[in-house]
Structure 1
Amino acid sequence: MEMNQNQIMELLDALYEKSINGIPKLSQPIDVLANDYLSKNNSTEKAARQFVNYQVAKCTTSGFVTGLGGLITLPVTIPANVSSVMYVQMRMIACLAYMGGYDTSSDQVQTLVYACLAGISIDQIIKQAGIKFGTKFTTAMVKKIPSTVLTKINQKVGFRFLTKFGEKGIINIAKLVPVVGGVIGGGFDLVETKVIANRAYKMFIKGDLSALDDKDNEKIIDTAADIIKSQDESDN
C-alpha cells in the first residue's frame, strides 16, 4: 500500500469529519457522545476516564472493528481493520478534546487531534511561533495558533503516517508473520490505543502539551516486537 502526503491528509480529514459528525445508524455526533458521559459523572476527569476505558475495550473487539470497517467510506483504500481502528482512536481523541472545552470545529483543534493520533512532539513548533505557555496549555492558547504553524504540524503528521503506512511501517508489522497476524494485530491495537488515550487525556483534559512525545511510538514498536517474540516462543 503506497500513499502520498496529500492522500494521508485526505484520509485524516475524512476520518475526522466522521468522528465529529458520527456515522448514520452507527455512531452519534461527538457532542452528543461527550455530553452523555459528562452528564453521568460529577467531573470532567471522571467522565473522560470512563469514556477512555470503554473506547480502549471497543477498539480491540474484533467483531466491532470488522463490522465498522465495512461501513466507513474513505477517499483512500486501506484495510478495513486499519480504517476502523483509526476511526475509533481519532473519535476518542476528538471526544476528549470536546470534553476539555476545545472547539472541535476549529482548524487548530483538528490539527492537534491529528498530532495526538500520530504522536508527534509539537511544543517546540508552537514556542517558535511565539506562543508562550506555562505548565498548562489552555483553549485560549489553542485559538492563537496561526495557520503557518498548523501547516508545519500537518507536514510532520503527514510524514509520520507515510512512515507508518510504509512497507516497513508499524501497521504492516503483522504482515511479517502472517500466521499469527490476528494475534499480533489485536495486541498491537490494544497497546497503541492505550498509548493514544493516555496522551489525549493528558493533553486535552490536563492541558499537558508535553504529552505528545515521539518516544511513545518507540514503545508501541517495541511492544509489537515483544508480541511477535512471545507468540513465536509459544509456537516452539
Structure 2
Amino acid sequence: MAGVAKFVASSLAPAAQRFAPQAAAGVLRQILEVAIDGYQRFPGAEQVAEAKLARVENDPQLAIDAVIDQHIRLAGVQGFVTSIGGLVTFPVALPANMTGIAIVQARMVAAIAHIRGYDLDDPRVRTAVITCMLGEDGVTDRLKKSSLPTSPLGIATAPVFDPELDRLVSGEVVAELIARISGKRMALTVTRRIPLLGGAVGATVDGFATYRIGQYADKSLIRRIRRPIEP
C-alpha cells in the first residue's frame, strides 16, 4: 500500500498543494487505474471482488459486506500511519494521505460495482465509481446545486460516455478529498503533541468515511443489465 501511495503521490503533490482540483483530475484517473487494475503486489478491484465471492459461495451481498469491512480496516491502517504525531498537520503529508485513502476507497467501490455486474472497463462505470467517492451527502448536495447532473447509477447506465462529465466529477472528487484531509489536519492540530492519539483519530476518521462511502456505493450501484457503449 505504501508503495502505491508513494508512486501516485509524487504526481499528485503539486496539484494538491496548489488546491487546484481540476489540475489534479488527471492524477485521480491514475489513482482509479491503480485501484481497478492493481499495482505490483496490490491486487485490483476485480481480483478482490472475486476472492470475496469465492469465500461466501457467490453470495453478492455477503461479498460486498466483506469488501467494505476489508477496506475500512485498510483505510484505518493507512490513516493511522500517516497521522501519527500529527503528520497530517503538515502540508507535505497531505498528498500521501489523500492518495492512500483515494486508492482504498476507489478499489472498494470498484469491487462493489464488479460484484453487482458492472464492467469496470466501461468508462461510464469508472466515472460512476469516482462519483460514489463523494459520498451520499456530497452527491446529494451537488445534485441540489446542479453541479452534478445525475446519480452514480445514472452515470453508470447512461447511453454514452461523457468525457466532460468525467472531468467535472474528477475535479469535484479531488476537491472533496482535499477538503476532507484539510479538515482532518485542523482537527489533528490539537493532538499532535500526543502521537498515538493523533494516529487513533486519523484511523477513526478515515475508517468511518470509508464505511459511509461503501454503504452508499452498496445502495447506489444496484444490479443492472449492461448496455454497450454506442459508437
Give the TM-score normalised by structure 2: 0.66
Shift of 1:110: 1.8
Residue aligning to 1:98: 114
Residue aligning to 1:170: 183
Residue aligning to 2:229: none
Cα 1:84–1:140 shift into 2, 3 Å: closer
Q: For CA contacts below 8 A with separation 6 or more, give which structure has more relative contact order.
A: 2
Shift of 1:55: 1.7
Amino acid in structure 2 at the alignment position of 1:23: Y
Residue aligning to 2:34: 18
Residue aligning to 2:204: 187
Cα 1:64–1:205 shift into 2, 3 Å: farther
Shift of 1:92: 0.7
Partner SS for 1:60? helix
Amino acid in structure 1 at the alignment position of 2:179: T
Partner SS for 2:133? helix
1:31 correspondence with 2:46: yes
- Give the counterpart of 1:200 among 205, 214, 217: 217
1:48 correspondence with 2:64: yes
Shift of 1:117: 1.1
Residues 79 and 101, structure 2, Cα contact 8 Å, conserved in 1: no
Residue aligning to 2:18: 2
Shift of 1:50: 1.6
Cα 1:82–1:9 shift into 2, 3 Å: same
Cα 1:65–1:10 shift into 2, 3 Å: farther
Segments of structure 2 that go 5 or more residues without pairing to the other structure are 1-16, 83-91, 225-231
- Residue identity (%): 23
Shift of 1:199: 0.8
Shift of 1:104: 1.6
Shift of 1:205: 4.1
Cα 1:37–1:113 shift into 2, 3 Å: same
Q: Deviations over 1:130-163 (max 9, x none)?
A: xxx9xx9479724545334434433433443453
Q: Deviations over 1:148-187 (max 9, x none)?
A: 443443343344345345xxx3242344222242232122
Partner SS for 1:45? helix
Give the TM-score normalised by structure 1: 0.65
Residues 21 and 172, structure 2, Cα contact 8 Å, conserved in 1: no
Shift of 1:22: 0.8
Residue aligning to 2:73: 57
Residue aligning to 1:214: none
Partner SS for 1:27? coil
Amino acid in structure 1 at the alignment position of 2:54: S
Residue aligning to 2:7: none
Residue aligning to 1:219: none
Amino acid in structure 1 at the alignment position of 2:183: I
Cα 1:65–1:87 shift into 2, 3 Å: farther
Residues 102 and 139, structure 1, Cα contact 8 Å, conserved in 2: no
Rounded Cα–Cα distance in structure 2 between residues aligned with 1:90 and 1:51: 12
Residue aligning to 1:84: 100
Residues 125 and 155, structure 2, Cα contact 8 Å, conserved in 1: no
Residue aligning to 1:71: none
Rounded Cα–Cα distance in structure 2 between residues aligned with 1:86 and 1:61: 14
